[in-house]
Amino acid sequence: MTGDDDRRIVGAAELFDLTGKVALVAGGSRGMGREMVLAFAEAGADVVISSRKLDNCEVVATEVRERHEREALAVSAHSGRWEDMDMLAAAAYDRFGHVDVLVNNAGMSPLYPSLVDVTEDLYDKVLAVNLKGPFRLSALVGTRMAAGDGGSIINVSSTGSLRPTPTETPYAAAKAGLNAITVAMAHAFGPKVRVNCIVPGPFLTDISKAWDMEAFEERARTSMALQRGGQAEEIVGAALYLASAASSFTTGALLRVDGGVP
């Protein structure tokens, strides 16, 4: 193919290019977070990887350096602690001087026998990791993005935020709050910063190890359009779209990646 066809193909590839960018992924050491880190690095970005366990972050950072020859910073930070989010933002800016993409991917959804058995401690932890930490980190990074060259903030929510069930009520409430701050911060930090939210359905990551897989597979066959759970790498397309210039006119959006959950 030559001429106009070549220019169109190059232009499309350039839309997703992250060369010269820095991407910070909270909850980036495993599952969908790890896949996003590796995809951003492959697209040309240097990366900051955070989770509670530094060793896990270092493994991914080494993978980034060896596979994609990009710079990678591993940071131990608890996404449910306000002061850890302050420390994480400071570490990213101290190392790289700017952050262009922020992904709030950390989350937790512990099982409980009934609503009345949800303890205050469990409730507070779920709200802290899924909502408080992303709020603080987005406020810090978004403010600096808006004062500088702009950027993209990507929150990772859940279809439970749209169709909550009794078995995940605190988690669903926290993720619904994350949806709300996505829209609010899109207006707060616009026009230079885009803030969007990926709303995943059931993905077969570490969290699925606690599921009754036989029951899940039967529900998937009868209720989901694709009749299966997602694989971690299947989040990458949505993440690259929202991180890059490909989504230049998209902000305040909730993008469902759910296999056709009704």
Number of Cβ within a 10 Å radius of residue 14? 12
Please identify which of the residues 112, 123, 171, 241 carries the catalytic annotation: 171
CA–CA distance, 231 with 101 (Å, rounded to integer) = 23
Q: What angle do CA 234, 72, 251 make, to 5 degrees?
A: 50
Whether residue 171 lies in the annotated active site = yes
Alpha helices in the chain (DSSP H): 4-15, 31-42, 54-68, 82-96, 120-127, 133-147, 169-189, 213-223, 236-243
Instruction: Please state the separation of Cα 57 from the chain's center in Å.
Output: 15
CA dist 219 and 224 (Å) reads 8
Catalytic residues, which ones? 171
